[in-house]
Amino acid sequence: MKSNKPNAKFFGFFLMLLFSSSSLLGQIKADDITGVWLNEDKDAHIRIENIDGKYFGKIIWLKDPIDEETNKPKLDKENPDEQLKKRPVMGLNLLANFVFNGDDEWSDGEIYDPKSGNTYSCYMIFTDSSKNRLKVRGFIGISLIGRTTYWTRVE
């Protein structure tokens, strides 16, 4: 007499297939972070690129690119280095030397804040499975002492 119960081996194989395919869908790849991002203040777009296995980001759009006082492109006037105060904010490199940890985080990089002129250690991680929202955490020393901002993917 044949049983109507499902075969245990088939059921186990089905579960294994289900979990392995769902984990592949959620898997993050290093280049998933590349593209254009809108900062939290919604006044700049930053393009993140992979250059020789490290990730860098630069400003490619500003909501207000012209300095109201000079009627010329905004300059990096908060920079502590006198020579760098003359460089334009448009095209400025904000993110440098990030590496992907192989799991879900880009770390060991630095972020430059043109509004303060300060550079911080930084890590980045997605906050959702759609990979369209990025947590950017700048810090001094340890990540507990710092500031978090969230960026939204533009393209």
pTM above 0.75, yes or no: yes
Contacts made by residues 64-73, CB under 8 angstroms, sequence distance 24+: 65/89, 65/90
Q: What are phi and psi of 92, to 5 degrees?
A: -70, 135
Per-residue pLDDT of the chain (155 residues; tens, 9 = 90+): 555 555 555 444 443 433 433 343 369 999 999 999 999 999 999 999 999 999 999 999 999 999 999 999 999 999 999 999 999 999 999 999 999 999 999 999 999 999 999 999 999 999 999 999 999 999 998 888 899 999 999 98
Domain boundaries 28-153, corresponding CATH code? 2.40.128.520
